[in-house]
Amino acid sequence: MTTVTTSKQAHPRTLNEQILVVKRSQLFPDGTWNGLEQVDMQEYLHIIRSHQEFQPRAAMEDDPRYKQIIPYLVFTHNDQYFLMQRKSSASEQRLASKYTMGIGGHIRKEDIESGSIFDWARREFNEEVNYSGTFSIQPLGILNDESNTVGQVHTGFVFLLKGDSANISVKSELKSGHLVSFEECFSHFESMESWSQIVVEHLKELLK
């Protein structure tokens, strides 16, 4: 695990930005799966670094030949989880108004000039929320979901962030966010984006 201290810097996001993608055939040479799999993340990081491309986000949103690489971060503090709701005007309209447990976003070229995948996760956390405190990072696995058009063009690197502070709030891309019990998270299951549904099911097994 790595302990980090956050900052509050953010970058503008537009559909014209150049985002990190990898061809589906290179990221998953043996075929894709549906769900959250515990894998060797360093192996996948090597694949990404060997085959990475930077393409316009607008072009990639409807091109399933490519997978957009997304750090997907679940924050927890004292057995509570940060449950968010996306705005109706969210930049990804296919997820508008959905509940989510995942903090994250696209990776740009300047984001990977240095650092590890843990640094990517930290940057995404800082961009999406305001937080005062430190946290440890635990990799949970790689999430892939071919059941809908959003999942067909994205793949998530999922991390559990264990914070030492409850001082966390959403930024502009999100409508609301609150620390709640796992049971309350589960009560919103039907209104969650599919990735969060997969994560909730995975955490449910871990918490048994």
* In-domain check, residue 101: yes
* In-domain check, residue 141: yes
pLDDT, tens digit (0-9, with 9 covering 90-100), for 4-33: 333 333 334 566 889 999 999 999 999 999
* In-domain check, residue 2: no
* In-domain check, residue 87: yes
Can you tell me the distance from the alpha carbon of 173 to that of 94, in angstroms, rounded to the nearest whole number? 14
65 exposure class (CB count in 10 Å sphere: 0-12, 13-18, 19+): exposed
* In-domain check, residue 6: no
* In-domain check, residue 9: no
Overall domain count for the chain: 1
* In-domain check, residue 192: yes
* In-domain check, residue 1: no
- Rounded to two decimals, what is the model's pTM? 0.86
Domain region containing 78: 14-206
pLDDT, tens digit (0-9, with 9 covering 90-100), for 143-192: 999 999 989 999 999 999 999 999 999 887 677 899 999 999 999 999 99
Q: Which domain CATH number covers 63?
A: 3.90.79.10
Whether 125 and 105 have beta carbons less than 8 Å apart is answered as no
